[in-house]
Structure 1
Amino acid sequence: MSSHWISIYALVGMFVLATVLPINMGVIAFVGAFLVGTLVAGMNAKAIMGGFPADLFLTLVGITYLFALAQNNGTIDWLVRLAVRAVRGRIAAIPWIMFMIAALLTAVGAVSPAAVAIIAPIALGFAAKYGINPLLMGLMVVHGAQGGGFSPISIYGGITNKIVAKAGLPLNEIATMLASLGVNLSVSLLLFFLMGGMKLMRQRANADGSAPVVPRTSHGQSGAQVYGDAEGESFPEERRTAARAENSLMESAPAEAADPGSRAYRIATVAGLLALAVLTLFFKQDIGFVSITIGLVLTLLAPNLQKRALGQVSWPEIMLIVGVSTYVGVMDKMGTIDFVGHSVAGLTSPMVAALLLCFVGAVVSAFASSTAVLGSLIPLAVPFLQGDSGVGAIGFIAAMAVSSTIVDVSPFSTNGALVLANAKGVDRDVFFRQLMVYGAIVTLAAPVVVWLLFVVL
């Protein structure tokens, strides 16, 4: 067996092991990089660490740190209240408000499970109160989070764009962002009308009913679901963490948020998020350094309030991403990336090869980590995309991005598990089967649809 196949089988084994056992895939990937690099490729530790993505590490730390600050000081709660207040009794608008808030959170840097952990308990509480289909509401939250997930300053967007830029492929950040938003928005619109949206449009909240009480988000460090990517964690832990988040969400507003200067501080936080977008998008500043700088300024304004933020950085997410990226770096130095690319390019039809890669991304991501899929499959496709195969790199990246993330509605993923755990007034077994069937449909249909839209057409 060649060294290339050994490294490929090791990567597959990592996905399987991280799916079956509650072990962070990043830990497995670091060990894999060490063992494969030394025993198979004859590399020393310095050469192996050459694949460590320092810039991506800084980006992830900076963004998640800034987002933890925004959550701690009540900015997220405040924005949710403002958005829900705009409903003014229009029940049909509530699912769309939740969609937009979830999309906004991931667009400005929240990891998708964090956004869903924050919004799902609120959204499903509204669903129970106003008679909205809980499956519709849960799916709207997940698709919203995935829809905003590929903005240039988001986690998914940062990972994808850095990998593509490093590979020297054509880069169109806006195209990937709009592809994800457009597909998730279209799916949500279809779901809205299939699951009772027309009925909701004819209803309004009772005139004597008080405005919905927007629960607060959890400020405790109760697990990776809230502040990190727990896609590599076990399913039971997902449900336990989500339940803890739901209980704390239903409590009254925290004492810190009642501080007299809290409103001004929240405005400063929103200004900081806007500054992050402007500096990174228009002035091309490094998102990692900018986000940490803004976070430091906000921390200096209220050091006691924000002292927990560093502990709330998404360390499981970061460990997973940098571990997989380091292993892929070892594969690249071994020549495995070129080997796979040329093998795929040698298939009868390049278009079929692109479709197969989209299917692999969707199936693996439905059970494992979307971030790990993006970090490993895109580099494997680089030689194939660089060749004269007739498959456009921009379209393929968009298709891979969407097919690898839209499947997170599966109840076996963190987002789907959070929706299941927070659903109210439902038969859990029935609701689980509904999520599983929907997840299976999306896993099978999404790769074909995005392949047709972004690769073939």
Structure 2
Amino acid sequence: MPVEIIALSAFVVIFLLGTIRSVNMGTVALVGAFIVGGLVYSVPAKTVLDGFPGEMFVILVGVTYLFAIADYNGTVERLVQAAVAAVGGRTGLVPWTMFAVPACLTAVGAAAPAACAIVVPIALKFAVKHRINPVMMSMMVIQGTTAGGFSPIGIYGVIVNGLSAGAGLPTSPLLLFAGTFVTTLILAAIAYITLGGRELLTQRAVPAAVTAPVHSTTGAESMLRSPGATMTAGGTADVEPDPLEGSGRLGLEQICTLVGIIALVVLTLTFGLDVGFVSLTIAVLLSLVFTGSAQAAVGKVAWSTVLLICGIITYVALLQGQGTIDWLGSGIADIDAPLLAAIVILFIGSVVSAFASTTALLGVVVPLATPFLLTDQIGATAFIVALAVSSSVVDCSPLSTMGALAVANSEESKRANVFSSLMRWGLSLIVIAPIVTFAVLVLPSSV
């Protein structure tokens, strides 16, 4: 059997183990890289570690550390308060607020599961109080989370743009952001209209107390938690204060954190400084001044996400270094019909992402498509946007992390309905997203 088949089969096993078992896929990928590297490719561990993405590690640690500080010191909660207050108590506009808040969070570098975990409990508690369809509210939060993730400094955007540029493909960070944002906005609008949003426009909200649980980034763990409670390190349940209650001026720490986030956006977008080191610098400065928040925030850094991404990319780097990705990509590129090859890759991204981590998948499908795109048979930029859309909008599936968070935080009596409804949305988008993006983006670029 060809070594390429063995290595790719092992990669499939890694995804399966990470999906069906409560184990971080990144750790499995690192172990798999060590075993496959030694037994299949006969390369030493040092060669395997050469593929560890140091730059990506700094970016992920930097942005998630900064975001964890903002979450712990209450800056994020105050942003949510301001967003809800901005709609003037109009019930029909609250779902759009719940779309906008996570979009802003992921756009400035927050991990998508973390942003969703912060907003979705608040959104669903509000939905219960004001009889809003929980499926619609869940879709608004999830699609909003995705909408911001492909910004030039968002984690999704950093991964896709970085891998594309490293492969020698033309990149357009703003076009990628615009394409994914518009698509998710349209999906949110469809969910809003079809799931009761029009009836809400005539209603007016009454300020309500809601409870937000702790922000879990693992769907399986959040399934075990009740929507209104958080688990402490000792296993006891604590109810958090209402993030929509209260008013008053921002504290010094919150003001400094907001200034830091604004500085991150300006320094990276205007002056082109490295996202990872800038965010890490700001986080360290905040840590030196406000030591209490810093110590607690370290534990809230999305270490599992960092490990997931770095592990997967390390394995992919091994495959790339040994020519396996080129072998597979060349096989797709050799398909006589380039358009057929394009839609095959789009469906691969859509199907796998609905049942696994989108963050990890993006580190796989872009290298997979690279040999095909280098043939110039299809417009690379348009295809990358189509691939990003197809691989991300299916995150509403309850078997994906964000979909699982929505199910876990739904009212218990409606949890089964939310699960089945999100499953229908997810399965529908598995088919619809590749076909529509293929027709709208890929086909015109091939003319």
Query: When the two structures are superposed, what TM-score results if normalisation uses the length of structure 1?
Result: 0.91
The alpha-carbon deviation at position 412 of structure 1 amounts to 1.0
- Whole-angstrom CA distance in 1 between matches of 2:308 and 2:99: 27
The alpha-carbon deviation at position 324 of structure 1 amounts to 0.9
The equivalent of 2:234 in structure 1 is none
Q: 1:145-173 deviations in whole A, cap 9, x for unaligned?
A: 01111111111111111111111111111
Task: Tell me if structure 2 keeps the 8 A contact 1:77–1:217.
Answer: no
Change beyond 3 A, Cα 1:139–1:313:
same
- Number of residue-to-residue matches in the alignment: 437
The alpha-carbon deviation at position 380 of structure 1 amounts to 1.3
Q: Unaligned stretches of 5+ in structure 1?
A: 219-224
Task: Tell me if structure 2 keeps the 8 A contact 1:77–1:214.
Answer: no
Q: 1:165-195 deviations in whole A, cap 9, x for unaligned?
A: 1111111111111111110100111111111
Does residue 240 in structure 1 map to residue 224 in structure 2?
yes
The alpha-carbon deviation at position 429 of structure 1 amounts to 2.2
The alpha-carbon deviation at position 249 of structure 1 amounts to 8.7
Of 391, 394, 399, the match for 1:407? 394
Task: Tell me if structure 1 keeps the 8 A contact 2:333–2:372.
Answer: yes
Matched letter for residue 348 of structure 1: D
- Whole-angstrom CA distance in 2 between matches of 1:238 and 1:346: 44
Does residue 252 in structure 1 map to residue 241 in structure 2?
yes
The equivalent of 2:429 in structure 1 is 442
Matched letter for residue 417 of structure 2: V
The alpha-carbon deviation at position 139 of structure 1 amounts to 0.8
Which residues in structure 2 correspond to 1:380-395 (within 5 Å)?
A: 380-389=368-377, 391-395=378-382
Of 198, 209, 212, the match for 1:213? 209
Change beyond 3 A, Cα 1:161–1:196:
same
Q: Secondary structure at the match of 2:23?
A: coil
RMSD after superposition: 2.1
Task: Tell me if structure 2 keeps the 8 A contact 1:159–1:374.
Answer: yes
- Whole-angstrom CA distance in 2 between matches of 1:249 and 1:191: 33
Task: Tell me if structure 2 keeps the 8 A contact 1:70–1:76.
Answer: yes
Matched letter for residue 166 of structure 2: K
Which residues in structure 2 correspond to 1:30-429 (within 5 Å)?
A: 30-205=30-205, 209=206, 211-213=207-209, 215=211, 218=214, 226=216, 228=217, 230=218, 235=220, 237-241=221-225, 243=227, 251-252=240-241, 263-389=251-377, 391-424=378-411, 426-429=413-416
The alpha-carbon deviation at position 11 of structure 1 amounts to 1.1
Change beyond 3 A, Cα 1:118–1:315:
same
Matched letter for residue 292 of structure 1: L
Q: Secondary structure at the match of 2:168?
A: coil
- Whole-angstrom CA distance in 1 between matches of 2:123 and 2:110: 18
- Whole-angstrom CA distance in 1 between matches of 2:249 and 2:81: 18
The equivalent of 1:456 in structure 2 is 443
The equivalent of 1:21 in structure 2 is 21
Q: 1:192-243 deviations in whole A, cap 9, x for unaligned?
A: 11111221112223xxx4x23364663xxxxxx63x4x36xxx3x2312574
Does residue 430 in structure 1 map to residue 426 in structure 2?
no
Q: Secondary structure at the match of 2:160?
A: helix
Q: Unaligned stretches of 5+ in structure 2?
A: 232-236
Query: When the two structures are superposed, what TM-score results if normalisation uses the length of structure 2?
Result: 0.93
The equivalent of 1:221 in structure 2 is none
The alpha-carbon deviation at position 428 of structure 1 amounts to 2.5
Change beyond 3 A, Cα 1:152–1:242:
farther
Q: 1:253-282 deviations in whole A, cap 9, x for unaligned?
A: 69xx99x99622212111111111111112
The alpha-carbon deviation at position 376 of structure 1 amounts to 1.0
The alpha-carbon deviation at position 322 of structure 1 amounts to 0.7
Task: Tell me if structure 2 keeps the 8 A contact 1:60–1:155.
Answer: yes
Q: 1:24-48 deviations in whole A, cap 9, x for unaligned?
A: 1111111111112111212112211
Matched letter for residue 35 of structure 1: I
- Whole-angstrom CA distance in 2 between matches of 1:426 and 1:94: 23
Task: Tell me if structure 2 keeps the 8 A contact 1:95–1:140.
Answer: yes
Matched letter for residue 240 of structure 1: L
Q: 1:93-138 deviations in whole A, cap 9, x for unaligned?
A: 0000010001111111111111111111111111111121111111
Task: Tell me if structure 2 keeps the 8 A contact 1:71–1:217.
Answer: no
Change beyond 3 A, Cα 1:15–1:410:
same
Task: Tell me if structure 2 keeps the 8 A contact 1:216–1:249.
Answer: no
Q: Secondary structure at the match of 2:151?
A: coil
Change beyond 3 A, Cα 1:324–1:48:
same
Task: Tell me if structure 1 keeps the 8 A contact 2:121–2:212.
Answer: no
